């Protein structure tokens, strides 16, 4: 059939009109990204007198306390409103119970105090899990059979959360995936007078293969000869979206202030489903493996790094995230601050 035989030809609705130039594309853009949407994960290491590069995460460093404070000051100036702290614990301080997590003079409480003194307007999110502190690398303590003991772990996490709240954390962020931990932490904080300390719950954290570079960064990775640490007994099955939704909504019932999906990019469907079922703010963690894959492809000339990283963040925002934890935070915040910057 010839085009002139079609009753609707030429087309009345030409979608390309809305894409014809940078100005109209900007005016009609539906999803926007700002520095205030982003949270910067920072790795803190006591012995890092100078920033230590992380081989598997180009452009990311382990930082000493003073360097962390300097980084926080820079991020805040760029419009970033929060950081998430992760300790790289000296192996000599690790043990099966992860007792270093409860030290009020530990690395993270001291880092918190310095940040709050120097950059009081910056929100600080503190990870609550035992894997940086246990010599076996699991997120909780083990019972006699070698299985993570849920209830014994929750009791420790409550004390850890209180320690972090007393040190000045704005949010504690339980990432352990133990049952009932959000409610127990909320009760502990409230009964201790820390009503204003929030809980960002890792509400849908999957047993993902994308965490490898992070474990290198914090020193919780096992030697390659021992194989990948199996956390499927408490982290979510990547094949189970309904279970993920149920887990997240239980955290909401228990008093979480913000729910998070981790990883972000491979689980955009989970993020969108959760957005449809809750009115709470949603966070998503663009994890180390996502970051490193984008860098690796760009280093080989297969992708355009600036465009790919921005597109990846826009996809997470579009899927429903209000907050994005990303190792691209500083670079993207710098880009967004330039008057000449355009997504086009």
2 is catalytic: no
CB 79 within 8 A of CB 36: yes
What is the rounded CA–CA span in Å between residue 69 and residue 82?
A: 12
The helix, strand and coil proportions of the chain, stated in percent and rounded to the nearest 5, come to 45, 15, 40
262 is catalytic: yes
Beta strands 52-53 and 61-63: pairing type? antiparallel
Nearest to 18 by CA among 6, 9, 8, 26: 26
- Tokens 């003073």 sit at which residue? 66
CB 302 within 8 A of CB 296: no
Set 45, 94, 262, 317: catalytic member: 262
- Tokens 């994308």 sit at which residue? 210
Query: Residue 203 belongs to what H/E stretch?
Result: strand 198-205
Set 205, 231, 317, 330: catalytic member: 205
Nearest to 329 by CA among 271, 297, 286, 292: 286
Catalytic residues: 205, 262
């Amino acid at each position: 059939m010839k085009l002139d035989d079609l009753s609707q030809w030429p087309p009345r609705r030409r979608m390309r009109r809305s894409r014809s130039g940078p100005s109209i594309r900007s005016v009609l853009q539906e999803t926007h990204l700002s520095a205030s949407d982003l949270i910067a994960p920072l790795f803190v290491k006591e012995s890092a007198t100078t920033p230590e590069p992380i081989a598997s995460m180009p452009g990311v460093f382990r930082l000493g306390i003073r360097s962390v404070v300097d980084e926080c000051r820079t991020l805040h100036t760029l419009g970033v409103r929060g950081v998430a702290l992760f300790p790289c614990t000296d192996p000599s301080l690790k043990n099966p119970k992860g007792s270093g997590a409860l030290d009020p003079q530990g690395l993270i409480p001291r880092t918190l105090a310095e940040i709050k003194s120097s950059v009081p307007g910056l929100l600080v999110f503190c990870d609550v899990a035992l894997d940086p502190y246990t010599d076996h690398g699991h997120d909780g303590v083990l019972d006699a059979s070698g299985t993570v003991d849920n209830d014994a772990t929750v009791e420790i996490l409550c004390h850890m959360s209180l320690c972090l709240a007393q040190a000045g954390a704005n949010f504690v962020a339980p990432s352990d995936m133990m049952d009932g931990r959000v409610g127990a932490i909320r009760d502990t904080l409230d009964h201790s007078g820390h009503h204003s300390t929030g809980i960002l719950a890792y509400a849908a954290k999957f047993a993902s293969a994308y965490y490898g570079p992070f474990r290198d960064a914090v020193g919780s990775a096992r030697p390659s000869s021992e194989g990948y640490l199996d956390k499927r007994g408490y982290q979510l099955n990547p094949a189970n979206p309904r279970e993920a939704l149920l887990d997240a909504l239980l955290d909401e019932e228990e008093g979480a202030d913000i729910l998070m999906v981790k990883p972000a990019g491979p689980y955009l469907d989970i993020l969108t489903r959760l957005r449809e079922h809750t009115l709470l703010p949603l966070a998503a963690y663009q994890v180390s493996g996502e970051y490193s894959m984008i860098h690796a492809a760009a280093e080989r000339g297969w992708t355009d790094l600036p465009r790919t990283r921005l597109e990846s963040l826009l996809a997470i925002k579009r899927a429903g995230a209000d907050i994005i934890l990303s190792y691209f935070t500083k670079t993207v915040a710098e880009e967004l601050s330039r008057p000449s910057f355009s997504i086009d």
